[in-house]
Amino acid sequence: MGLFDSIKREVTFFSALSRTNNWMKDLSPDSQVLLPDNWEAICDQFNSKPAIMFEGKTWTYGQFDGRANLYAHWAVSIGLKAGDVVSLFMQNRPDYLAAWYGLTKVGVIVALINHNLQGPSLLHCVTIAKSKAAIVGAEQADLWSTIDGQLTGVSVWAAGGLIPNANDLDRALNAQSNKRPSRAYREMLTAKDPCLYVYTSGTTGNPKAATLSHLRTQGMSRSFIAATKTGPGDRVYCPLPLYHGTGGICGVGLVLNTGATLVLRRKFSATQFWDDIVDNECTVFAYIGELFRYLVSVPPHPKEQTHKLKSCFGNGLRPDVWARAEERFKIPLICEFYGSTEGNVSFINVEGKLGAVGRIPGYLKKRFNVELVRFDIEEEKPIRNEEGLCEKCAFDEVGEAIGKIDTTNVRARFDGYANDKAASEKKLLRDVFEKGDLWFRTGDLLKQDKLGYFYFVDRIGDTYRWKSENVSTNEVGEALCIYPGIEQANVYGVDVPHADGRAGMAVIVAPKPIDLAALSAHVRTELPSYAVPLFLRFQTEMEVTGTFKYRKVDLVKAGFDPAQISDPMVWMNPATRLYEPLTAEIYEAFQLGQIRY
């Protein structure tokens, strides 16, 4: 790299860092300025300007704020008060945003629930949040029916239509005022109080409700404004689910903090993506890595290079797909980032460095709370030296990313998981570099090169990523083990050709033959679609470590290759939705891309 390139790199980095710091400088945990205060000010400033475009209709900022006010008054009318929780179980549409924005106006905490969940996982998410009420989109009726009658003390309200055993929210909203509720409903709160619960899969089995304070939500919603150079004249395209932090908070925040316009899609479509981008004159969009893989996998679209895009942001973009996307789509800047909903470690690749998730120059290292520590893959924990302390990684050495916790810093806080002290404690790492210090464990393996660029390597242990979702091996294992005849299940993620992330695979110990059709139906009922294990391997005895932990390293390496595995295996055929014998021919079809998930 020449001198000119080095100077350009540093100027780009410092410019983005300075502008991001300007967006964050007024945030404080003790501030009485909350997220709805920020967004009400924007709605006043841009009252008649388009805020949201969705399926041929446009909402102005004034209309959006008025709709949110209906939800606020409704909450008060049914007795909800500041600190109470409402679960939101709805697919993408403007009312999703109006609902949670409106509820925060009166201090209500909103639990954003993955709209793919059903059965035990869905029930857990509603109950762990201690919800007083639930808003259920009518399109979710079938999934909601899997827990109907199992909730106690939760009033259920159907939006956009009627569902059995639920109150009519549409009718109730029509009886409310669209004027702003008094700020007195939230005046007792400060920015460190909870705003949202956003669910994340970890190592404890069920989804955990990450607590997002107003401070954290404000920070997340502003994080990418500087990097993407978003302003009032931009149109931001969001095809991602609104229950995700990337689309629902960061993407939406690009709009509701700047006066830009949100072009919202109900669900991502690779074939309609470029029509949406070009026809709506979008300039920025939010992505997850799988989105780009789908885009480069479909035939060229006549509009894919006629867009007005200036940037996009997201995470999970694999280097091979990244290179193809840059060449094919000519997007000026791809801002890949690293971070988690609840964590205090985050980076943004503002320079578009292929494959990197961000950068911290060596001369600024002390200004950031991030370190990589040496990690024992087999034991799944950081390595300790003779003094009992962790050791920092060398350049290009893979280690776990950790972040020092500072409750006064919006970027360095960890607010834990709602009503789950045990899960929160598991994310803490104590006595790291000195006795008494406290750090957050990301559960992710990264490496850093000599120029300061960070690269994501893998997730640790009990969680893997598939179809843009984090999947807990414990949750999948529990669902398998409640099936009659299965004694043990060791779940892990395996690489699948032509797909991002890792697909679920499990070693099954069952003394008698299993009815594969019945098992297929069972896992589809008990688990979200993305968590259904796609490969099963049958053994007579489970391999364990000396401490009785399941061995996974060799299993992951072998994958589902019949040439390396003598055990019987089956695969979930997407056409029949049944487990079927996995042969060498089927495996070869995966390698050639003839079978894809």
C-alpha angle 104-78-416 in degrees, rounded to nearest 5: 40
Res 545 pLDDT > 70: no
pLDDT tens across 406-442, in order? 988 888 899 999 999 999 999 999 999 999 999 999 9
User: Which residues are CB-contacts of 14 (< 8 A; sequence separation ≥ 6)?
Assistant: none
Could you tell me the two tokens for 318? 């694999």
What angle, rounded to 10 degrees, do the helices at 61-77 and 35-45 form? 140
237 contacts 277 by C-beta, under 8 angstroms: yes
What is the edge-to-edge ordering of all strands in the sheet holding 578-581?
Answer: 488-494, 503-509, 535-539, 569-573, 578-581
Closest by CA to 111, choosing from 120, 119, 122, 324, is: 122
What angle, rounded to 10 degrees, do the helices at 214-222 and 35-45 form? 50
The number of C-alpha atoms within 13 Å of 186 and in the hemisphere containing its C-beta is: 30
Q: Quick one: pLDDT band at residue 548, thresholds 50, 70, 90?
A: very low
Say which CATH topology domain 463-591 has. GMP Synthetase; Chain A, domain 3 (3.30.300)
Q: Quick one: pLDDT band at residue 276, thresholds 50, 70, 90?
A: very high
5 contacts 12 by C-beta, under 8 angstroms: no
Share of the chain above pLDDT 70, in %: 97
Task: Tell me the C-alpha distance between 461 and 139, whole Å.
Answer: 35
More confident residue, 532 or 2: 532
Res 462 pLDDT > 90: no
Q: Quick one: pLDDT band at residue 175, thresholds 50, 70, 90?
A: very high
Domain 35-214 has CATH 3.40.50.980: yes
pLDDT tens across 324-352, in order? 899 999 999 999 999 988 999 999 999 99
Q: What is the mean pLDDT of the chain?
A: 93
Q: Quick one: pLDDT band at residue 469, thresholds 50, 70, 90?
A: confident
Could you tell me the two tokens for 574? 């997407």
pLDDT at residue 41 in the model: 98
Task: Tell me the C-alpha distance between 384 and 357, whole Å.
Answer: 27
pLDDT tens across 153-166, in order? 999 999 999 999 99
pLDDT tens across 44-71, in order? 999 999 999 999 999 999 999 999 999 9
pLDDT at residue 503 in the model: 94
Res 550 pLDDT > 80: no
511 contacts 487 by C-beta, under 8 angstroms: yes
Q: Quick one: pLDDT band at residue 547, thresholds 50, 70, 90?
A: very low
Mean pLDDT of 278-283: 98
pLDDT tens across 556-581, in order? 889 999 999 999 999 999 999 999 99
What is the edge-to-edge ordering of all strands in the sheet holding 284-288?
Answer: 57-60, 50-54, 261-264, 235-238, 284-288, 311-315, 334-338, 347-348
Query: In this structure, which long-range contacts are made by residues 50-56, counting pairs with CB atoms below 8 Å and at least 24 apart in sequence?
Result: 50/261, 51/255, 51/256, 51/261, 51/262, 52/94, 52/97, 52/255, 52/261, 52/262, 52/264, 53/235, 53/261, 53/262, 53/263, 53/264, 53/280, 54/93, 54/94, 54/263, 54/264, 54/265, 54/266, 55/266
pLDDT at residue 1 in the model: 62
What is the model's pTM?
0.83
Could you tell me the two tokens for 501? 């992330």
pLDDT tens across 353-392, in order? 999 999 999 888 888 999 999 998 767 899 999 999 999 9
What are the residue ranges spanned by the domains of the chain? 35-214, 367-459, 463-591
Residue found by looking up tokens 């008990």 in the block: 526
Say which CATH topology domain 367-459 has. Luciferase; domain 3 (2.30.38)
Could you tell me the two tokens for 390? 């962790």
What angle, rounded to 10 degrees, do the helices at 214-222 and 3-24 form? 140
pLDDT tens across 184-243, in order? 999 999 999 999 999 975 434 578 999 999 999 999 999 999 999 999 999 999 999 999
Q: Report how far apart the first and last C-alpha atoms of the chain are (Å, whole number).
A: 40
